[in-house]
Structure 1
Amino acid sequence: MNDTAPSPRLAAKLHRRVCFVMTEDAVLAQELLARKKLAGDVVGRLSDRVLLIRPGRVEAVLDELRKMGHTPQVVNRTES
């Protein structure tokens, strides 16, 4: 085994200021996607439990989650 062999390259992009919804399980994420008002604000699915939200639509998503009876926990992280 050659320990000096280069590792394979991984193409990655880092995005700042993104919003996502992380659910407790995949079934809940699927239920959120089934709701038309929320589905329009979802850009993609990062995993079976994580939905990426369209920029500028955070408040609308929070409002819709609350209308559905959920109590979303909002976490802000800012770095200097």
Structure 2
Amino acid sequence: MKKLFIIMALVTLSATTFAQTAEWLVSPQYSEIKYFAPNMYKVTKDGKVGVVGSDGKEILTPEYDAINLFYEGRAVFVNRT
């Protein structure tokens, strides 16, 4: 009986270990990701800021120096150059 329990435990443990998978929603290419607005996130890459959607697609490429929060449906994008 003890052997049967050990075999069942090992089979169950191995099945749960193999069943766990993960996918990247946003590929790990940004140095920082912060909440920006509903379904949008502010990302930083090489010191520049952009916006990605919750589906992982870029809305604005990281080319701005700063992006302020939304106010009345608008946001300010700062490019100092």
TM-score (normalised: structure 1): 0.31
Q: Which structure has more strand as a fraction of its residues?
A: 2
Of structures 1 and 2, the one with the larger relative CO (CA 8 A, separation 6+) is 1
Structure (1 or 2) with the larger CA radius of gyration? 2
Q: Which structure has more helix as a fraction of its residues?
A: 1
TM-score (normalised: structure 2): 0.31
